[in-house]
Chain A
Amino acid sequence: MSTRTLISPAQLARPRGKLVYWIVFAVIVGGFTLVFLGPLYWLVSSGFKNPQEVIQTPPTLVPGSFEPANYTRAWEVMDLAKLLFNTLYYAFGALAFQLVLDVAAAYSLSKLRPVFGKAVLGMMLATLMIPATVLVVPQYLTVLDVPVVERNLLNSPWAIWLPSVTNAFNIFLLKRFFDSIPGELLDAASIDGASPMRTLRSIVLPISRPILGVVSIFAVVGVWKDFLWPMLTLPDPAKQTLNVGIYSLSNGVPVNVLIAALTIASIPTLLIFLIFQRNIMSGLTAGGLKG
């Protein structure tokens, strides 16, 4: 059961249509596999080559040498366990902050509707108009000396967590989802004496699971993929993320070890992708456009 698309089914059913279809199909599938999986194959296989083979011309398509020890060396030399732990710590910390603070804010703006709520939402959405890279410099200066509390957050996980909350797009997505929850449902709860917190916990959150999933995945992946901000705010090698740590050590290790490290660094997000493919794709198309 498929919907009608560009090419008519009748045209496809003809022998010539069938032939063209299968030729185009084969070319695209082959080409895509080559273009998108090819580099990944190259990454994984080069990670198994010995130091001579990895920089040999012409390169070998199938590794002639097999050195899984590259992976263990990469793990040790680049201290990937630490980098991996740091990145997980920042990513899930940011996720927790975003889930608690952004969900609470979106709930308040959508259902509790305080005075000035509209103005606050407007100011949050206005930040989407400012190119993110332009704000990096003043944000960095703010981290060096946070106003009011007068703290320097350099090399502290807070430098990742707190700014991650200022994700106006997430708040917008959540608020739009909460807006679609019928008010009668919440009124019924409040008449039954449920506090706003209780209503949020027992009614709003269970209904909102799909959108929470999408927001969570993008929150984690966002921190995982970020480069410039963690490079600036976490200069201490002991505090670095995978991206920054591997980059700063990339010139000091043999090519095959570096490539093995890149492979290891890619595994977590690839796993997330393979597991949550459906959620990611629906999130992209549901909210990917509106800013």
Chain B
Amino acid sequence: MSAPSLTPSKTGNSLEVQPRSARPGPQGGRLARSLRRNLTAHGFLVGAVVCFALFSWYPMVREFLLAFQKTEDGTVSWVGLDNLVTVFNDPAFWQAWRNTLMFTLLALVLGFAVPFVVAVTINEFRHGKGYLRMLVYLPVMLPPVASVLLFKYLYDPGYGLLNEVFDAFGLPAQQWLQDPDVSLLAVVVASTWMNMGGATLIYLAALQGIPGELYEAAELDGAGLLRKIWHVTIPQTRLILSLMLLMQVIATMQVFVEPFLLTGGAGPEGSTTTVVYLIYQYAFSFNNYGAAAALGLLLLVLLAGFSAAYVKLSRAEDE
């Protein structure tokens, strides 16, 4: 830390200002001053640190401990890997992972590709950009209960609007949330509608940063529309695309609210049971915090790789 050597600024301070380190403090001693400065600094920090300690750091440690513990009648005992064994032997375990991965995959096809195509298209428009930007972001602002229950109404097999629209196009009516074959897709569609606004706006901002000369140069080389996208648009937005991809994997692997509200969580024949729903069930339906923590730990380990890659990439972007 370098001592600032400033000449007095425009203020009418006539005192001769010396570098801070050379100026005798009121209590003298360098040490005393540094101590005081640190006390003040920590004073500003302490509130947030206490909150982090109680509600972030302590729970993080506890998550690891809980996974290897068992609580019975208020007494805590170490059970080694028993919780993990319980979790692995649960018939819902593999189904939950399968559903979660399937959900992530579908959500990526819809929620990753669609916003990008939409952003590239909107970016070409000379009119109405603001309106379109507002439209895609509108659902993001709705309380999730409102959007999800609205979708439940639209999906209703009896009086839902969606089947009516299908009917108008000569398509067969679906039992959207009652049929195990389509329920997951129905959840993904609702979730994409609710969440795609954020990604679209971020892509739009990234697209605006592409220097126009690159497109001109590509045209001089005779590149058509698709080749311009492939050789200019995508490489120029690659970093943001990868960041968003990682962020979406991390977010969708933790999906809970949408299936919980749409199908009650498990869904028909467990077709929308996700890993986080299973954690929720262990903890809050069966009071088995050990199993919940063990499953949480598995999810954490799996997502840690994605998080690490994300941090690394976002550092790169900062430079």
Contact = CB atoms under 8 A, between A and B. Distances in A.
Contacts of A112: 37, 40-41, 44
Given A114-B38, A228-B257, A290-B317, A137 B66 contact: yes
Contact of B150 (A29, A35, A58, A262): A262
A184 B138 CA distance: 42
A6 B233 contact: yes
Contacts, number: 315
A128 interface: yes
A101 B289 contact: no
Interface in B141-155: 141-147, 149-151, 153-154
B124 interface: yes
A148 B154 CA distance: 49
- Nearest first, the 3 A-B pairs at minimum CB distance are A4-B212, A114-B41, A112-B41
Interface in A83-131: 100-102, 104-105, 107-109, 112-115, 117, 120, 123-124, 127-131
10 contacts: A37-B138, A130-B60, A133-B254, A134-B296, A137-B292, A141-B289, A195-B40, A196-B44, A221-B141, A281-B201
Interface string A1-45: 011111110001000000001001100110011011101101100
Interface residues of A, number: 110
A242 interface: yes
A183 B38 CA distance: 18
Contact of B49 (A12, A36, A105, A250): A105
A248 to B, nearest CB: 10
Given A6-B232, A36-B139, A247-B145, 19 more contacts: A5-B124, A5-B207, A5-B210, A6-B225, A8-B215, A29-B128, A36-B135, A39-B193, A40-B138, A59-B164, A113-B41, A117-B45, A124-B52, A137-B63, A138-B59, A142-B62, A269-B142, A288-B201, A291-B247
Given A37-B135, A56-B159, A105-B49, A137 B57 contact: no
Contacts of A166: 48, 51-52, 55-56
B88 interface: no
A7 B225 contact: yes
A259 B55 contact: no
Contacts of B120: 6
B56 A135 contact: yes
Most A-side CB within 10 Å, residue of B1, B135, B318: B135
Given A114-B38, A187-B6, A129 B304 contact: yes
Interface string A229-267: 000100000000011101100100001001100110110
Given A113-B1, A139-B59, A247-B261, A32 B135 contact: yes
B161 interface: yes
Interface string B201-215: 110110110101101
Given A6-B120, A137-B289, A225-B144, A196 B40 contact: yes
B215 to A, nearest CB: 6
A137 B281 CA distance: 11
Contacts of A5: 123-124, 207, 210, 212, 215
Interface in A178-197: 183-184, 187-188, 191-192, 195-196
Given A25-B125, A105-B49, A266-B142, A192 B13 contact: yes
Contacts of B314: 289-291
A57 B158 contact: yes
Contact of A165 (B51, B213, B289, B299): B51
Interface string B288-319: 01001100110110011001101100100110
B283 interface: yes
B146 A265 contact: yes
B78 interface: no
Contacts of B40: 112, 195-196
B98 interface: no
Contact of A6 (B56, B135, B228): B228
B33 interface: no
Contacts of B225: 6-7
Main secondary structure of the interface of A (DSSP, over half): helix
B266 interface: no
Interface in A259-279: 259, 262-263, 265-266, 269-270, 272-273, 277
A291 B48 contact: no
B135 A33 contact: yes
Max count, chain B CB within 10 A of own CB: residue among A42, A133, A270:
A133
B17 interface: yes
A224 B146 CA distance: 12
B48 A101 contact: yes
